[in-house]
Structure 1
C-alpha cells in the first residue's frame, strides 16, 4: 500500500488539474451553446427584416416590428460578441470576469493558486468564488477514489472519465439549470459502446435496456407530474442523463439510482425550501451523486429493490 502512495498523489494532482478545466467547461459551454442559439435566432430575424422591407403585410405594428431598422436596433442592443471575442473551451486564456485580468500560470495552480491569491483577483481584488478550489479538490479526491475502487486499467480509466463528465454536468445544472445534449448523449453512447466492446464490466444487454428504461421511466414520471401539477416536474436533460447512467451502470442499478437520487433530492429540497421557497432545485446533481455512490461503494444491482420488498 505504501508503494502506491506516490502513484495516488500523482493521480490526485491529475484529477485536480482536470477539475480546474471542468470549472472552465462548466462556465463556458452553456454560454457557447446560448451564443449559438442566439446567432440562429438573430439570423432569422435579420432575414425576416430584409423580407419585410420588400413585402409589407399591411399590418402597421407587424411591419414596424419586422422593419430592418428596428431589428438592427434590437440585435445591436442584445447581440453576441464579435468574432474576436467568441468563447471556446480552450481559448481565450482564463481571465477575471470583473476586470479582464489575465490569470497567470502560477495563479492557475489547482487549489494552491486560490490560496496564494487569498480568494481575490490580483488585478482588481474582487472575490474569486470558492467553487473553483472546492471543485479542484473534490475532483482530485474522487479521481483517486474511483481509481482505487475500479482499478488502474481501461475499466477504471473509463469510469474516471464518467465521473468527470458527471461533475461537469452537475456544475452546469446547478448554475444554469440545463443538462446539455452535447454531454449527456455522448456519455450515453460511450457507455453503450464500452459495454458492447467489453471495455467496462457491464453486460451490453443490461446497458442497452438500462438506457431505454432510464429515459422512459423519468419521461413517464414527468408526464404524470404534468397531468397533476400542470407543469413539468423535470427537464428533458434529466431523462437523457438517466439514460446515460443506465448505459454505464446497467438496468439492475436504475432503481438504486432513482431511489438514492430521490432521497437525497428530497432532503436537500426540504432544507432549501425552508431557507428560500422560490429557489429551483435541479435534479441532475442528485442523479450524478447516486451514480457515484453506486460506483464508489460497489452497490449491487437491485439492492434497494430487495430491501424495499
Structure 2
C-alpha cells in the first residue's frame, strides 16, 4: 500500500465513485452497442450506414429532452443531490440507481484495498467487482450477459490465479472454470430435454465459469446454492406482487453475481455455514 490502510481505502473509494459513474454509462450503452452492431451486421449492403454509437459517442444527454449534460452536472453523487435527482433543463427525474451504483462501487473498491494483500491483488479484485456489478445490472435490465464482459472476466480470473492474486491455485482455477461451465450447461440441457424449454442462457454458463476461475472449483456448490435459493425467493416475491416480466421469468445472472460478491466479501464457505451445512 502507498499510505496507511485507511487512507488508501478512502482514496480507493473516491476512485470508485468516478469508476461507478462510468459503470452507469456501460450498463446503459453496452446492450445498445451490441444491438447497433447486430443491426449493422444484418443490414443490406446498400443500406445507409448507422450513426456511430459507443461509450463516448454521442455525448451524455438527458433521455427526455436531449439536454447535453455538462461536466458539473455529472459529478458522482454530488450532482444528483444538487439537482435533487432531476434534469437541470426539463426537470425529468433521474433514476436513483445512478448514485447507488456510484456508492456501491466506491464501497467495493474501498473494501478491496482495505482487505486484499498487496496493490496488484487489490487492483485485480476491484476490476472483478466492477465487471461483476455491470454484468448483474445488464442482465437484470436486458437478460443479456455479454461475452465482451464474461470472457475477459474468465480469463482474468485464470491469469490472476497464475499470478497469485486470488489465493486460488491455478489448477483449482482451471477446474473451477471448466466445472462451472459444464455444470450449468448440463442443467440447461437436462431441463430442455424434460420440458422443451430453455431455463437459462449461455451467458450464465460463462459467468459461472468465470466465478469458478476466481474462487476455485470448491466454491461452486456454495455459490450456486446461494444464487438458486435467493433467486427462488425473489421470484416468488415478484410473482406475488405481479412484478414478473413478460414470460414469467427472472434472469439468473444477478443472483450468480450476488453469490460472487458474497464469496468475495465473506468467503464461499461462509455461505454454507449460514445455510447450516
**What TM-score does the superposition give when structure 1 sets the normalisation length?**
0.82
Kindly state the Cα deviation for residue 264 of structure 1 after the two structures are TM-superposed: 1.2
Q: 2: distance between equivalents of 1:197 and 1:174?
A: 32
Per-residue Cα deviation, 1:70-89 (whole angstroms, up to 9, x for no partner): xxxxx7xxx8x843xx2211
Alignment correspondent of 1:241: 207
Pairwise mapping of residues 19-58 of structure 1 onto structure 2 (< 5 A)? 19-43=20-44, 46=45
What pairs with 1:34-113 in structure 2 (closer than 5 Å)? 34-43=35-44, 46=45, 82-83=50-51, 86-113=52-79
Asked if 1:296 corresponds to 2:262, the answer is: no
Structure 2 residue runs without a partner (length 5+): none
What CA deviation, in whole Å up to 9, does each residue of 1:243-288 have, x standing for no partner?
A: 0110111001011110111111111111111112642311111111
**Does structure 1 conserve the Cα–Cα contact (< 8 Å) formed by 2:161 and 2:173?**
yes
Q: How much has 1:222 moved relative to structure 2?
A: 1.1
Residue 5 (structure 1) shift: 3.5
Q: Is the CA contact 2:244–2:250 (under 8 Å) kept in the aligned structure 1?
A: no
Contact 2:6/2:114 (8 A) holds in 1: no
Please say if residues 253 and 301 of structure 1, whose CA atoms lie closer than 8 Å, have aligned partners that are also in contact.
no
C-alpha separation between the residues in 1 aligned to 2:208 and 2:268? 17
* Alignment partner of 1:286 is 2:252: no
Partner of 1:171: 137
Q: Post-superposition shift, 1:8?
A: 2.5
**1:152 CA displacement:** 4.5
| 1:205 is aligned to 2:174 | no
Alpha carbons 1:23, 1:135 under 8 Å: kept: yes
Cα shift at 1:236 = 0.6
Mapped to 2, the partners of 1:152 and 1:90 lie a distance apart of 33
Structure showing greater Rg: 1
Alignment of 1:16 onto 2:8:
no
- Equivalenced residue count is 272
1:118 aligns with 2:84: yes
Q: Deviations over 1:27-56 (max 9, x none)?
A: 11111111111111113xx57xxxxxxxxx
TM-score by length of 2: 0.91
SS of aligned partner of 1:205: helix
Equivalent position of 1:228 in the other structure? 194
Unaligned runs of 5+ in 1: 48-74
Give the Cα–Cα distance (whole angstroms) in 2 for the partners of residues 287 and 254 of structure 1. 10
